[in-house]
Amino acid sequence: MAGTWFQLCFIENEGMAFGMKIMDAPAGKVILTLFRLVAVVLGFFWLKKLLRQGYSKGLLICAAFILAGAAGNLIDSMFYGMIFTDSDYAVARLVPFGEGYGSFLHGRVVDMFYFPMIDTTWPQWMPVLGGRPLRFFEPVFNLADACISVGVIVLLLFQKKLMKPKNIKENT
């Protein structure tokens, strides 16, 4: 499908962003899933605190996006392996609860969106890179990853405006 800017894929990601892993052992997957669980629980407390302190709707929406994305990836990590077969280069099949490829906390996160907007080759005249493939935006991601990314990027771009409670007025 060379030249297309959007593709749907099926990738089971055993790790976190870009397939990185804490360690290449089952314990690494459990540690990552427990970290996600702690992050989601703390995220709910953070969102509740922001609500009580009267922060802007923009910050609450960003926090909700981050929390929803983290929760989505957590649910996959906890249960996906219990309800789907191992995919082995094909799409996984739904099976009765507990008959999947893995146990509780050992699920993979499914990534599916792929946007290779630029898929070409570096010009031959370029030193070191000449003739090598150039693909812009190679990561495959899911809706949860997109929610987390959008929430974080908007917070970073508009932090001055979003990060103060409504009841604090600027001295202008």
The confidence score (pLDDT) of residue 1 equals 44
- List the catalytic residue out of 24, 86, 88, 145: 145
145 is catalytic: yes
Q: Within the chain, where are the H helices?
A: 26-52, 57-75, 81-83, 143-157, 159-162
- pLDDT by residue (tens digit) across 66-85? 999 999 999 999 999 999 99
Torsion 8-34-163-68 (CA) sign: positive
- pLDDT by residue (tens digit) across 8-48? 988 888 888 767 778 778 888 899 999 999 999 999 999 99
- Output phi, psi for 54, to 5 deg: 75, 35
Please state the rounded mean pLDDT for residues 100-108. 90
Indicate the domain borders of the chain.
Answer: 8-14+23-110+141-162
- List the catalytic residue out of 86, 88, 111, 119: 111
111 is catalytic: yes
Residue 169: pLDDT over 60: no
